[in-house]
Amino acid sequence: MYKDKTFLAIIPARGGSKRLPRKNVLDLNGKPLIAWSIEAGLKSKYIDKVIVSSDDNEILTIAKEYGAEPYKDPRN
């Protein structure tokens, strides 16, 4: 059905959080929280590329480690 189309997933991940500081890099069952979203996107048969957009270098490093393309938010 979608053979000729390419789908992109963009995961926005801020470094700061008021309720749970550093939540995207905190361990959840053996890996960082952001890793679960990246892996789900990469496993999808509909998504060809996963990009993580963040202002935080640690999040971007984790994104790359888990197979996503990191994108540094230029506003920060």
The predicted-structure confidence for 24-58, as pLDDT tens digits, reads as follows 999 999 999 999 999 999 999 999 999 999 999 99
Residue 43: its pLDDT value, please?
95
The range of the structural domain enclosing residue 37 comes to 24-46+57-69
Q: Is residue 8 part of a domain?
A: no
The predicted-structure confidence for 61-70, as pLDDT tens digits, reads as follows 999 999 999 9
| Tokens read off for 17 | 């959080």
Q: Is residue 2 part of a domain?
A: no
Q: Is residue 65 part of a domain?
A: yes
Q: Is residue 6 part of a domain?
A: no
Which candidate, 47, 32, 39, places its Cα nearest to that of 68? 39
Work out how many domains the chain is built from and give that number.
Answer: 1
Stated pTM of the model: 0.87
Q: Is residue 10 part of a domain?
A: no
Q: Is residue 75 part of a domain?
A: no
Q: What's the one-letter identity of residue 29?
A: N
Contact 68, 41 (CB under 8 A): yes
Q: Is residue 19 part of a domain?
A: no
Which candidate, 32, 50, 30, 31, places its Cα nearest to that of 40? 50
